[in-house]
Structure 1
Amino acid sequence: MKKQFFAIIFLLAGFTASAQKIPYTNCDKCWLPDSLGNHRVIVTFNGTSNIAKVIIPWRRRDNDPEGKRIIIQDAQTKRKITNVKTVTINRESGEIVFESTSGKGTYYVYYMPYKNEGRSNYPKGVYLKPENTASQDWLSRVSSATNVQTAMVKEFQSIDAFNSFYPMEVIATKAETDALIKKNSSTAFLVFPEDRLNSIRMTKDLPQRWIELGPQAKYTGTAARGENFAFQLGIYALQNIQDVKVTFSNLTSPTGKTIPASALFCINTGGTTYDAKPLTKTVNVAQGEIQALWCGVDVPSSALPSTYTGKATISVVGQAPKVVSISIKVSSKTLKDGGVSEPYKMTRLGWLNSTMAQQNTVIAPYTPLAVNGNTVSLLGRKIEVNSDGFPKQIQTYFTPEMTEYATVPNNLLTEGIHFHFINAAGNKINLKSQGVQFTKKEAGTVQWTAISANDSLQMTVTASLEFDGFIAYTVKVKALQDVSLKDITMHIPFKKDYAKYMIGLGQKGGYRPENFEWKWDVAHKNQDGAWVGNVNGGLQYSLRDEKYVRPLNTNFYLQKPLILPSSWGNDNKGGIKIADDGKAVLVNNYSGARDLKKGEELYYNFTLLVTPFHTINTDFQWATRFYHAYKPIDTIKDAGATLINIHHATAINPTINYPFIAWQKMKAYDDSAHAAGLKVKIYNTIRELSNHAYETFALRSLGHEIYSPGKGGGFSWLQEHVGDDYIAAWFVPEIKDAAIINSGMNRWHNYYVEGMNWLTQNVGIDGIYLDDVAFDRVTMKRVKRVLTKDGHPGIIDLHSANQYNKSDGFNNSANLYMEHFPYLNRLWFGEYFDYEKNDPDFFLTEVSGIPFGLMGEMLQGGGNKWRGMVYGMTNRMPWSDGADPRPIWKAWDNFGMKGTKMIGYWVEDNPVKTDKAKVIATVYKKAGAVMVAIASWEDADTDFKLAIDWNKLGIDPTKATITAPEIKSFQSAKTFGLNDRIPVEKGKGWLLIIK
């Protein structure tokens, strides 16, 4: 399909000759872009010779057109013309001589051909270099020709509308720009109001469109009642200008009706941060550069149809302000949704400043915090606060089975968490506490402060505990006089029973080493803390700089690593030692020697996360069966699945992390699934954002707020339209979806929350599938609130590839994402997790989710179905050939897994054990029967005998049978005697029924 646009393009000779209209058109899929590029010029030749010359006024935004190949094709034969000579190639125009192989006719000039190199999902678009293919004989004839006939440019053409440069990337010439500057030499900047559908894209070149229209002092638009209407004010700096600000007056109708100034905004100069703090942005524009100011007016639905006028005043430091008249014609049409169902109209820009779901209300299944004296109770846990503000004791109320709450608490600490201050002589400096003061007691948050001091040091502690068990500490240490210190340390003294396992600080999840030492290395390692604990009680902690910024993850850590805390790191003098003295396990977080001057302050900030978060929901595990692919509803239902995960790069969710392109199709699919009794979740996260996002260039106008700085490159579209200063991310070749890496914590999170709410309420999604997470717990809580609002299920599952590698900074996925675990329903820790070579403790801590109140599934290589069942894990459809979960689902149903009690091998009094240390058993118990999952970690085929506590099983051994039901690709049917030795192959196991 061909679409056509017209632009005034001037002929060569300074572009001052009479104008002609050369159309810009799109010809969808008319050629293969990966060999010829995305752009061509259609040239017609009516001469009589076989030598043609064409002068192409292409006005290109790329900086090195002379370094890119020109390919000319005969339109009639589709053959490449080899006899080509480039005379002059620059950004403004190109003069090319070529052999007119068909005489009179049409020729195609492809001027940005490229090829993709590297990995298909992370391509490197490489533009082809110029080549010399013309014969010497032909070149000689060209040089001797006295009257080379001219071909005419018929149209500029792009492979599709999405790749078109028209109108905002067709550059003004230097002569036009110089003339504009000369004409306006007395002013510091010019203003070019622009329509919302013409996103300002270039920052260093004026669009030719602006030359034609000229600077304007008025913007006129048409909006509906209730519409979130957007427009742009383009700033072109003739001098360096600083601190650009925009203020608005009321908009007033001829009858005196008003749209208040408070309804107008500019996203570039201010707003609201992702964590609900006021944001003021400083906008400076260098001489010769362009800054788009994206503005909006939230037209009240009560506004009467009329034309409302007012003013936008643009001010900069040291210069006279400019006033732009704003005229908005409000029609009689009313938009109940603000127009957000049509995001291509930029109606969602206000979402960037949203505070939706910010109030820290308690999210199910958590319970309101309760304060009794200095003890705070929360779901399954208690924290007693000492007079110095640190935890005196941390308790959990979970049984080892993790299926119910205990009546007797588990004390995690041998004594309170505390700081030590050691002077240069090696003596302890004692601080006297003034007592703890609780400053906030709300259902979702409890806060307290404490001050401890002597004549040389003062420590001010501020802490905040949230309903899920997260504690944030701000610890300010101030020198009251000059002081030399040998060390400042924080001790976490664990009871040995609750320091059995460890994840983090370079340690693979599993048993905690008896003695351990670690040093900071933020340049290479995303490591600042660890989880230490047992299945039914543990503690994650993280040491933070006062200017902590969440680093990038998933292949991009090295491009934005952690900040070395000036306190804890202390120029790499700091570190962590863990020592087991037989009675306790001391985690010693030290910072090393330093001198403090009077008045100097240090922040020893840290966070704590008390685990588990809740009991495990085994019935959800057995009943919720994932189908992770976009397939017909009947196909999925027939497979026995109950929940569909819709990935990106599908017909109803085509673009990555921007599920708004095909939302009508998505809604129709969701409605069909719901009618069939199935639930639907979609892929949508924050880390990278599709280049198809309608707001791409509005977000780019915010500098590095939304997008990370980087070296650019990647897929051709990014290079041609975004230009530079970005990080190219995931690419889907089939639909040419090219993502850009987000910068971290920013206002896109506000948009994300609003988007999730809109999809839940209007499209009917039942949750989201997260493919790694690049946002923090603030955003996660907000997302969970909007997903579960009004009775929606709000199911969230998290997939992660193993993060323990160089690109990801050698962190453990479970440690990296633990702050999100309170709000997840399932883990899918799959890619690069080795299910064959790792021991049971690794499965338990890094993959299963059980010590945190979660359950999981496997992925890499199909996992190990026998070992997985020891943790209640299987696979999801239709991933991994040979790992089809349906036979195990059928075995669950035949046994009746609903309502069973899971008693894992980690439970000391598990009623079913084996006589082999590396052959382990987990029991799924119900009245009169149990299913026993057996898995072997022995180095070779072996056999084992069951050791059964019949009283605990509640089964009469004289009437008991032990059978292995037939399970396809898992085991053959077999019956065993109570005292039989049961064979087991290396790396495999059994599902046995005892009843």
Structure 2
Amino acid sequence: MLAGLTFGVLTTAHAQELKYTAGNNSWNADSLGNHRAVVSFNGTSNVARVMIPWRRRDEHPEAKRIIIQDAKTKQKITNVKTLTITREQGDICFEPVSGKGDYYIYYLPSKNEGRDNYPKGVYLAPEQTANNNWLQSVPAGMKPNTIVKELEAIDTFNSFYPMEVIATAAEKQQLLLKYPGTGYMVFPEDRQFPIKMTEDLPQRWIKKGPSQSFAGEADKGEYYSFQLGIYAKREMKNVKISFADLKAANGAGIPAAQLSCINTSGTTYDAKPFAPVVNIPAGEVQALWCGVDVPANAAAGIYKGTAIISADGMPAMPVRIALTVTNKQAVNSGFNEPWKQTRLKWLNSTLAQDNSLISPYTPLEVNDSVISLLGRKVGINKDGFPAQIQTFFTPEMTELSAQPKNIFTEPVHFHFTAAATGKDLPWKSNGWKITSKEAGKVSWTAVNTTTGLQMEVNATLEFDGFLDYTVKVTALEDVSLKEITMHLPFDKGAAKYMMGLNQKGGVRPEKIDWKWDVKNKNQDGAWIGDVNAGVQFNLRDENYVRPLNTNFYLQKPLLFPVSWGNGDKGGITIGEKGKAILVNSYSGERTMHKGEVLYYNFHLIITPFHTINTDFQWSTRFYHRYHNLDSIKATGATVVNIHHGNNINPWINYPFIEWKKMKDYIDEAHSKGLKVKIYNTVRELSNHAWETFPLRSLGHEVYSPGKGGGFSWLQEHVGKDYIAAWFVPEFKDAAIINSGMNRWHNYYVEGMNWLVQNVGIDGIYLDDVAFDRVTMKRVKRVLTQDNHPGIIDLHSANQYNKSDGFINSAVLYMEHFPYLNRLWFGEYFDYEKNGPDFFLTEVSGIPFGLMGEMLQDGGNQWRGMVYGMTNRMPWTENADPRPIWKVWDDFGMQGTKMIGYWVENNPVKSSNPLVPATIYKKNGAVLVSVASWAAEDTSVQLTIDWKALGLDPAKAVITAPDIRNFQTGQVFAKDAPIPVAKNKGMLLIIK
């Protein structure tokens, strides 16, 4: 027998013992597939016939190629004839070219087409290679003369045994005849055998038969998982499961509240009770994953109880449970052994859901009608909407100011215009009322009324500046309306820049006329503001669901908001009106009938979030690759970002399997004064996750529906109805797209907590984000607990394209910005053809209190320095940030004050607005960065306010230090023109 792991045996109709084994990647799966039958020929004929009871779960096996090899020589046998190929068995004749001995029959050969990281696994079609003379020599009706020794998967991970070995039609029919009772059967199953098929019964269940009892063994304090598999003879609707207390003979007990089923109950990612509806089509299988949260102080013994399964119109079925609790104490609830499915408990976690503050934010303070938060104030009008929003950040963004900057010229308000008169309906309000007040969140309500309408306003303001409104409009009688609009009247001083609504980041256009197009565009709002004051607004209704992003928007786009959209009548116009830049969100003519309800929900995100931490930018230098730590330290980097797809983090968004290797690496890094962050997010999930099939049992809750396909493992084991995502060829890591907002986010937060506590990670690297700010806040809390650094940097590929729905990355992710330490925007960002205002708004992070780095083609190092940006090592081969790092160190950037070209009173000004200047000022010296967006080589004259710099012009020297691959060293006279090459720039030191 071939070397490998033997899984088990079964007895076929031919009374031969068939083994399921796994080899050690002993053949080339890329050309031969992942599965083969090892057969032995012991005859003398030139024709071998074998009947292979392969019991395949894949559909249409007759449409897939059979490849046969001589086991000794690995020679491909061309004389092959397939007699009958079905899912149950294959009847095959071939020429045994070496006579007696073993032969390999590969029955799922495939090839990968498409991109390496997005493969399309294509199964090879049957081919005719046999010689006609040999075909004619095959005797009609010859008996099988070759035996099947084993069915071998290329490795254990690819094995079908035992839960994907299908029952035959005859076996299934016999089962149904033997158990004719109710409309369904129950097959209790241990956690080590996850139920994987929904349209076939496993042969294992034919042998076992249905049962109404389950026995298991758990340690004290363990979260013990098990399955109740249901086969529906006829359609089952509204399947539920309830539990009774588990009781021991000595009177000890485990309360029923400690038992649960993730398929029928749980807690959403935002801490709300969740009761999904489970329906099972006739002829299909549903796994119900159940768990017992064994108390840590439970006495050892056997605990017995009952689970009751019910469905509409069907008799309830009890399942007896006998759980033996050992004397052993589980470590960390068994979470350190995830292969036991102990972490399914995490799906319903509420960890870090509190509204506690996160540094550097300060408690909310309410004084009369004004709510104060870090650097900002929000005044509330009597109708519950903002009367005014103010910010207190200096234009330099390095400190707070005593002088406020108003964002609006008048209160935010709605207009409901009567169709009959063309006049606005007058609203009455009894004022707003606080409903809850915490340090991190204030909530209030207001009820406004007018002729025939009631408007119920519920709002919350959180410590980071997220202002959320639910606006419920109810018709008290039939009301015909010419128009419903909401006005955001921006002060011109807080409306210089804009991004969103079909606009790339930059100076706000004079006029915007935008219409809803959710099928093609992930657009429901925009950001408008200046560097030190702004607001992002988004328009939504009660049915809002976060769409997919990063190449997948078109597969799950925005849901069209019935209120704001109103067919094709809704849209947004932006333009000057009086003293304001008016954002006019309109929804058009409509009639609301008595009792009808519309939700005109919206939220406002007030920017900036905090001051810029420039010292963090100068001292925190990322090395973005798994590499030798001594070599990394020698570069001057201080933080290592561990991407996925390497030995210590091989599986995308599932860093739990090789965690011991990761911990050893991090411990060594810490001993050398380096920090380590890891790639981990939830946009997609590795197929190596232990919980893959429990998650699949949840339908589309965690995994998005889709057309399937992708890498062969996904097609062979997940089957269909999924979206294949990122693939790493080296590790054969095939990810599946996450559906968006779901309970996997609870698991994700718990997983982060576990990684901080057990592995010592110093933060995470996010490669685009598929969760919202609720999860981000929770993640930041667990990452920064107990004074852990909790560094988060966010990378985004430019989302302004068709497949991403033409959304600006900064608009898409602005709700996360309060919790980030750095931006890395990113792939497909054009640093050459876009202007300085694009850099400022879409790339730098400065208007939001952040700083960033560049990626695509290494960025433009001259332009980047105007915003304090470099790139990171060693991701882009042709751009090495070390020469710039050396300048920072030689000049002494720590403690400098950054004053950007956008600051009106910048002490150093360029004579050419297309060659702006930013300075980094300290006592006795200043570093000046100039960069060109001019169409050709040019020179600029610097106007210098020597007094503001604190320098004596008579003694000052202007030097361009020699910087490798950046500039040649030289000295300039104080009034000399500075030459600047096209698309480049200069770093000058004045001291």
TM-score range, shorter chain: over 0.9
Paired letter, 2:438: E
Tell me if 1:216 matches 2:211: yes
Q: Which residue of 1 aligns with 2:4?
A: 2
Q: Which residue of 1 aligns with 2:962?
A: 966
Compare 452-461 and 410-419 and name the one that shifted more: 452-461
Q: Which residue of 2 aligns with 1:786?
A: 782
Please say if residues 542 and 607 of structure 1, whose CA atoms lie closer than 8 Å, have aligned partners that are also in contact. Answer: yes
Residue correspondence of structure 1 range 870-909 to structure 2 within 5 A? 870-909=866-905
Residue correspondence of structure 1 range 626-637 to structure 2 within 5 A? 626-637=622-633
CA distance in structure 2 between the aligned counterparts of 1:869 and 1:883, rounded to whole angstroms: 14
CA distance in structure 2 between the aligned counterparts of 1:881 and 1:47, rounded to whole angstroms: 61
Please say if residues 12 and 18 of structure 2, whose CA atoms lie closer than 8 Å, have aligned partners that are also in contact. Answer: no
> 1:583, CA displacement in angstroms?
2.8
Q: 2:652 aligns with which of 639, 653, 656?
A: 656
Please say if residues 871 and 881 of structure 2, whose CA atoms lie closer than 8 Å, have aligned partners that are also in contact. Answer: yes
Paired letter, 2:917: A
CA distance in structure 2 between the aligned counterparts of 1:38 and 1:867, rounded to whole angstroms: 51
Q: Which residue of 2 aligns with 1:910?
A: 906
Residue correspondence of structure 1 range 642-681 to structure 2 within 5 A? 642-681=638-677
Q: Which residue of 1 aligns with 2:396?
A: 401
Q: Which residue of 2 aligns with 1:46?
A: 42
> 1:148, CA displacement in angstroms?
5.5
Q: Which residue of 2 aligns with 1:14?
A: none
Q: Which residue of 2 aligns with 1:697?
A: 693
Tell me if 1:538 matches 2:515: no
Aligned-pair RMSD on alpha carbons?
1.0
Q: 2:278 aligns with which of 277, 283, 287?
A: 283
Q: Which residue of 2 aligns with 1:560?
A: 556
Please say if residues 51 and 148 of structure 1, whose CA atoms lie closer than 8 Å, have aligned partners that are also in contact. Answer: no
> 1:226, CA displacement in angstroms?
1.3
Paired letter, 2:184: F
> What SS does the corresponding residue of 1:958 show, helix, strand or coil?
coil
Tell me if 1:270 matches 2:265: yes
Please say if residues 355 and 438 of structure 2, whose CA atoms lie closer than 8 Å, have aligned partners that are also in contact. Answer: no
Q: 1:867 aligns with which of 845, 863, 868?
A: 863
Q: Which residue of 2 aligns with 1:507?
A: 503
> What SS does the corresponding residue of 2:814 show, helix, strand or coil?
helix
> 1:456, CA displacement in angstroms?
2.0
CA distance in structure 1 between the aligned counterparts of 2:187 and 2:989, rounded to whole angstroms: 76
C-alpha spacing 1:367/1:149, structure 2 compared with 1 (3 Å): closer
CA distance in structure 1 between the aligned counterparts of 2:577 and 2:430, rounded to whole angstroms: 32
CA distance in structure 2 between the aligned counterparts of 1:602 and 1:986, rounded to whole angstroms: 55
> 1:146, CA displacement in angstroms?
6.9
> 1:882, CA displacement in angstroms?
2.5
Q: Which residue of 1 aligns with 2:157?
A: 162
* TM-score of the two chains, using structure 2 as the length reference: 0.99
Q: Which residue of 2 aligns with 1:127?
A: 123
CA distance in structure 2 between the aligned counterparts of 1:137 and 1:522, rounded to whole angstroms: 63
> 1:147, CA displacement in angstroms?
4.6
Tell me if 1:340 matches 2:335: yes
> 1:453, CA displacement in angstroms?
1.4
Please say if residues 238 and 287 of structure 1, whose CA atoms lie closer than 8 Å, have aligned partners that are also in contact. Answer: yes
> 1:582, CA displacement in angstroms?
6.2
CA distance in structure 2 between the aligned counterparts of 1:347 and 1:459, rounded to whole angstroms: 47
Residue correspondence of structure 1 range 610-649 to structure 2 within 5 A? 610-649=606-645
Q: Which residue of 2 aligns with 1:247?
A: 242
> 1:149, CA displacement in angstroms?
5.5
Please say if residues 706 and 723 of structure 2, whose CA atoms lie closer than 8 Å, have aligned partners that are also in contact. Answer: yes
Q: 2:972 aligns with which of 969, 973, 976?
A: 976
CA distance in structure 2 between the aligned counterparts of 1:757 and 1:527, rounded to whole angstroms: 34
- 1:529-555 CA-partner distances (Å, limit 9, x unpaired): 000000000000000021100000001
Please say if residues 258 and 308 of structure 1, whose CA atoms lie closer than 8 Å, have aligned partners that are also in contact. Answer: yes
> 1:145, CA displacement in angstroms?
5.8
Q: Which residue of 1 aligns with 2:760?
A: 764
Residue correspondence of structure 1 range 226-375 to structure 2 within 5 A? 226-375=221-370
CA distance in structure 1 between the aligned counterparts of 2:765 and 2:17, rounded to whole angstroms: 50
Tell me if 1:110 matches 2:101: no
Please say if residues 438 and 449 of structure 1, whose CA atoms lie closer than 8 Å, have aligned partners that are also in contact. Answer: yes
Please say if residues 431 and 457 of structure 1, whose CA atoms lie closer than 8 Å, have aligned partners that are also in contact. Answer: no
Compare 445-454 and 750-759 and name the one that shifted more: 445-454
Please say if residues 51 and 144 of structure 2, whose CA atoms lie closer than 8 Å, have aligned partners that are also in contact. Answer: no
Q: Which residue of 2 aligns with 1:517?
A: 513
Residue correspondence of structure 1 range 394-793 to structure 2 within 5 A? 394-424=389-419, 425-581=421-577, 583-793=579-789
> What SS does the corresponding residue of 1:355 show, helix, strand or coil?
coil
Tell me if 1:29 matches 2:22: no
> 1:222, CA displacement in angstroms?
1.4
Paired letter, 1:252: K
> 1:970, CA displacement in angstroms?
0.8
CA distance in structure 1 between the aligned counterparts of 2:432 and 2:215, rounded to whole angstroms: 60
C-alpha spacing 1:374/1:673, structure 2 compared with 1 (3 Å): same
> What SS does the corresponding residue of 1:697 show, helix, strand or coil?
helix
> What SS does the corresponding residue of 2:660 show, helix, strand or coil?
helix
* TM-score of the two chains, using structure 1 as the length reference: 0.98
Paired letter, 1:291: Q
Please say if residues 185 and 238 of structure 1, whose CA atoms lie closer than 8 Å, have aligned partners that are also in contact. Answer: no
CA distance in structure 2 between the aligned counterparts of 1:432 and 1:5, rounded to whole angstroms: 74
> 1:239, CA displacement in angstroms?
1.6
CA distance in structure 2 between the aligned counterparts of 1:964 and 1:246, rounded to whole angstroms: 75
> What SS does the corresponding residue of 1:435 show, helix, strand or coil?
coil
Paired letter, 1:327: A
Paired letter, 1:637: K
Compare 268-277 and 220-229 and name the one that shifted more: 220-229
Paired letter, 2:4: K
Compare 535-544 and 1-10 and name the one that shifted more: 1-10
Q: 2:92 aligns with which of 96, 100, 105?
A: 96
CA distance in structure 2 between the aligned counterparts of 1:593 and 1:560, rounded to whole angstroms: 29
Paired letter, 1:920: P
CA distance in structure 2 between the aligned counterparts of 1:604 and 1:253, rounded to whole angstroms: 55
> What SS does the corresponding residue of 1:957 show, helix, strand or coil?
coil
Q: Which residue of 1 aligns with 2:926?
A: 930
Compare 937-946 and 303-312 and name the one that shifted more: 303-312
Q: Which residue of 2 aligns with 1:58?
A: 54
CA distance in structure 2 between the aligned counterparts of 1:34 and 1:763, rounded to whole angstroms: 35
Number of residue pairs matched by the alignment: 988
Q: Which residue of 1 aligns with 2:201?
A: 206
- 1:335-392 CA-partner distances (Å, limit 9, x unpaired): 1311111111111000000000001111110001000001000000000000111111
Q: 1:795 aligns with which of 786, 791, 794?
A: 791
CA distance in structure 2 between the aligned counterparts of 1:591 and 1:440, rounded to whole angstroms: 32
Please say if residues 431 and 446 of structure 2, whose CA atoms lie closer than 8 Å, have aligned partners that are also in contact. Answer: yes
CA distance in structure 1 between the aligned counterparts of 2:276 and 2:882, rounded to whole angstroms: 54
Compare 833-842 and 240-249 and name the one that shifted more: 240-249
> What SS does the corresponding residue of 1:140 show, helix, strand or coil?
helix
> 1:306, CA displacement in angstroms?
1.5
CA distance in structure 2 between the aligned counterparts of 1:49 and 1:794, rounded to whole angstroms: 71
Residue correspondence of structure 1 range 144-183 to structure 2 within 5 A? 144=139, 147=142, 150-183=145-178
CA distance in structure 2 between the aligned counterparts of 1:401 and 1:653, rounded to whole angstroms: 40
Please say if residues 120 and 709 of structure 2, whose CA atoms lie closer than 8 Å, have aligned partners that are also in contact. Answer: yes
Tell me if 1:75 matches 2:77: no
Paired letter, 1:351: W
Q: 2:917 aligns with which of 921, 931, 941?
A: 921
> What SS does the corresponding residue of 1:845 show, helix, strand or coil?
helix
CA distance in structure 1 between the aligned counterparts of 2:283 and 2:418, rounded to whole angstroms: 57
> What SS does the corresponding residue of 1:693 show, helix, strand or coil?
coil
Compare 394-403 and 911-920 and name the one that shifted more: 911-920
Please say if residues 487 and 594 of structure 1, whose CA atoms lie closer than 8 Å, have aligned partners that are also in contact. Answer: yes
> What SS does the corresponding residue of 1:348 show, helix, strand or coil?
helix
Structure 1 unaligned segments of length 5 or more: list them. 12-16
CA distance in structure 1 between the aligned counterparts of 2:75 and 2:140, rounded to whole angstroms: 25
CA distance in structure 2 between the aligned counterparts of 1:457 and 1:701, rounded to whole angstroms: 45
Paired letter, 2:283: G
